[in-house]
Amino acid sequence: MIATIENIKVDLSKPIDISIPLTNTDENPIAWYIEKPVIEPVKFDEWVGKVSSGMSSTNFNNILFNPHGHGTHTECLGHITHDFYSVNQALKQFFFLAELISVTPEEQGGDLVITKNQVVQALNGKTPEAIIIRTLPNSASKLSKKYSHTNPPYLAEDAARFICESGIQHLLIDLPSVDKEKDEGKLLAHKAFWNVTDVKNLNEEARLNATITEMIYVVDAVKDGSYLLNLQIASFENDASPSKPVLYSI
């Protein structure tokens, strides 16, 4: 199927899925000090909701997971605010023109940081609706990495502010957070991207419809450049939802 969007032709039969599947195995990536997801059949006394058990005509599983710590997820500013905001209400459109950039974080004070200058140079004057940041080196270990207590790379505050001021509404990154793992709760990049100055009394300039998607994975075969992004979430009334971002070549 070929779709034409704003005079751009896209082949919808060739999706590029940049999400990480959620599993109940040790291969599942994990961040924020939690255990792996749990996917198991419902049990009532001796009855088990699993066809292979011989007790049920259907497979009937419960799933226990955390969207922030267990894989690809999309969050709204409700992630950091005192009042409740739902990503299901923030994200009402699902197709965006996106730019994929690759960046090797720079060492600063023992940390690896994605700088404003790197983002500015990679965008080269482009102002897409969404930016996708792939960090280098780009090992497939990102699909199963255990991030807790590893101090992963993160986005500098001024880089996040530049993305905000450029009018980019959606930020996607292959890290567990845009902020430093242990930053004393400052969350400087989150606040800069959403233009939030007070988490208890939201300022008028706060970006209610902007989103951050973390823990994606973009294989090396997908080249930097412009794509059509389809950003889909589950309909959870929560600050974040597991998500499935999919790219289409333009």
Quick: pLDDT tens for 51-82. Answer: 999 999 999 999 999 999 999 999 999 999 99
pLDDT (tens digit per residue) in 175-220: 999 999 999 999 999 999 999 999 999 999 999 999 999 999 999 9
Task: Tell me the pTM.
Answer: 0.96
CB 92 within 8 A of CB 235: no
Facing residues of 170 across strands?
130, 211
The predicted pLDDT at position 8 comes to 84
pLDDT above 90: residue 172: yes
Task: Indicate if the pLDDT at residue 3 is higher than 70.
Answer: no
pLDDT tens for residues 117-141?
Answer: 999 999 999 999 999 999 999 999 9
Has residue 147 got a pLDDT over 70?
A: yes
Any idea what DSSP says for residue 145? Answer: -
Please report the pLDDT score of residue 249 as a whole number.
Answer: 96
Cα gap 17→2, rounded to integer Å = 18
Contacts of 124 (CB under 8 A, 6+ apart): none
Query: Is 186:211 a contact under the CB 8 Å cutoff?
Result: no
> Looking at domain 2-21+67-249, which of 3.40.980.10, 3.50.30.50, 3.40.50.300, 3.40.190.10 is its CATH number?
3.50.30.50
SS3 19: coil
Work out the pLDDT band at 1, boundaries 50, 70, 90: low
Q: Judge whether residue 6 has pLDDT over 80.
A: no
**What is the residue whose two structure tokens read 């049990």?**
43
Q: Which residue has the tokens 């950003």?
A: 231
As a whole number of angstroms, the distance between CA 144 and CA 28 comes to 5
**Can you tell me the mean pLDDT for 157-161?**
98
Q: Look at residue 123 and give its three-state secondary structure.
A: helix
Q: In terms of DSSP bridges, do strands 95-103 and 111-114 run parallel, antiparallel, or are they unpaired?
A: unpaired
203's tokens: 């300022």
pLDDT at residue 190, rounded to an integer: 98
Averaged confidence pLDDT in the chain: 96
* Burial group, residue 106, by CB count within 10 angstroms (0-12, 13-18, 19+): middle
Residues in the chain: 250
Residue 5 has pLDDT above 80, yes or no: no
